[in-house]
C-alpha cells in the first residue's frame, strides 16, 4: 500500500517540476510570435497590442511586466514608457512595480529550485557569461550588490536577482529588499525613459 502512494508522490513531484518549464517554453513561443508580428518594435505597436484587450489591458500589462523579468523580451524601458503613456504616471508606475516585483520573486524562486539549468534556458550566451562571473565572484556580497543595483538606474538588477537565487540570501531578506527598493528603481528608470522618449519625439 505504501509503494503506490510513494510512486504517486514522486510522479506529482515530477509534474510540479515540469510545469514551470513548460510555462517558460510557452511564453518563449509567444515571444517569437510577437516579434514576428512586430508587437515589440516600438511603443506605439506595444500600446496598440495592449489596448485591444479593453478592460483587461491592465492585467495584460502586468503579466507582460512579470514575463519580461523572467524572459527579457523588450528593448530597455519600452514597456515602462507604455505603462506611463497608457495609465498615467501614478498608475503606470504602480502597475509596473506590481508586475516587476512579482516577476523578480518568481525568477528568484525558479532559479533557487532549478538552479543554473533554468538560467541557461532564459539567458543569451552573452548575458549568461555575465551571470556566471557574478556567481563566481560576488555571491558572498549579494545582499549589498542587490541593494546597490536597485538604487542605481540602468544597473543590471534583474541579472543580480537571478544570482541571488543561487546564493545563501534568505527568501525573506530578498523579498524585503525587492519590495523596499524596486519601486524606487522602477520610478527613476521609468521617468528617465519617458523623458528621453518625449525628447526624441520633439516634445521638449
d(CA 141, CA 190): 27
Mean pLDDT over 176-181 rounds to 93
What Cα–Cα distance (Å) separates residue 123 from each residue in 21, 73, 152, 159, 173? 14, 11, 22, 9, 25
Q: With a cut of 50, say whether residue 53 has pLDDT above it.
A: yes
d(CA 93, CA 139): 30
Q: With a cut of 50, say whether residue 79 has pLDDT above it.
A: yes
User: Is 68:33 a contact under the CB 8 Å cutoff?
Assistant: no
Q: With a cut of 60, say whether residue 5 has pLDDT above it.
A: no
Q: With a cut of 50, say whether residue 1 has pLDDT above it.
A: no
Q: With a cut of 60, say whether residue 32 has pLDDT above it.
A: yes
User: Is 163:119 a contact under the CB 8 Å cutoff?
Assistant: no
Q: Which residue's entry shows cell 515530477?
A: 14
Mean pLDDT over 104-128 rounds to 81
What is the predicted pLDDT for the residue at 110? 86
What Cα–Cα distance (Å) separates residue 119 from each residue in 75, 144, 197? 20, 22, 31
Who has greater pLDDT, 69 or 28?
Answer: 69
Who has greater pLDDT, 33 or 112?
Answer: 112
Close Cβ partners of 66 (under 8 Å, ≥ 6 residues apart): 99, 100, 102, 103, 106
What is the predicted pLDDT for the residue at 33? 64
Within the chain, residue ranges assigned H as helices are 2-36, 43-51, 57-70, 78-114, 116-122, 125-138, 142-151, 157-166, 171-200
* pTM (2 d.p.): 0.76
What is the predicted pLDDT for the residue at 189? 84
What is the predicted pLDDT for the residue at 168? 83
Mean pLDDT over 173-202 rounds to 83
Please state the separation of Cα 64 from the chain's center in Å.
9
φ, ψ for residue 107, nearest 5 deg: -60, -45
Who has greater pLDDT, 45 or 3?
Answer: 45
Q: With a cut of 80, say whether residue 64 has pLDDT above it.
A: yes
Amino acid at each position: 500500500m505504501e509503494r503506490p502512494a510513494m510512486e504517486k508522490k514522486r510522479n506529482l513531484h515530477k509534474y510540479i517540476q515540469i510545469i514551470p518549464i513548460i510555462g517558460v517554453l510557452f511564453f518563449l513561443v509567444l515571444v517569437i510570435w510577437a516579434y514576428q508580428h512586430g508587437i515589440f518594435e516600438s511603443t506605439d505597436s506595444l500600446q496598440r497590442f495592449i489596448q485591444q484587450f479593453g478592460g483587461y489591458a491592465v492585467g495584460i500589462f502586468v503579466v507582460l511586466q512579470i514575463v519580461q523579468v523572467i524572459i527579457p523580451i523588450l528593448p530597455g524601458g519600452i514597456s515602462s514608457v507604455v505603462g506611463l503613456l497608457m495609465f498615467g504616471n501614478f498608475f503606470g508606475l504602480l502597475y509596473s512595480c506590481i508586475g516587476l516585483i512579482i516577476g523578480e520573486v518568481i525568477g528568484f524562486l525558479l532559479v533557487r529550485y532549478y538552479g543554473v539549468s533554468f538560467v541557461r534556458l532564459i539567458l543569451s550566451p552573452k548575458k549568461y557569461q555575465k551571470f556566471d562571473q557574478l556567481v563566481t565572484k560576488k555571491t558572498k556580497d549579494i545582499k549589498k550588490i542587490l541593494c546597490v543595483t536597485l538604487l542605481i538606474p540602468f544597473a543590471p538588477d534583474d541579472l543580480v536577482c537571478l544570482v541571488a537565487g543561487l546564493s545563501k540570501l534568505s527568501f525573506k531578506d530578498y523579498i524585503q529588499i525587492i519590495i523596499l527598493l524596486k519601486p524606487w528603481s522602477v520610478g527613476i528608470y521609468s521617468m528617465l525613459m519617458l523623458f528621453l522618449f518625449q525628447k526624441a519625439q520633439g516634445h521638449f
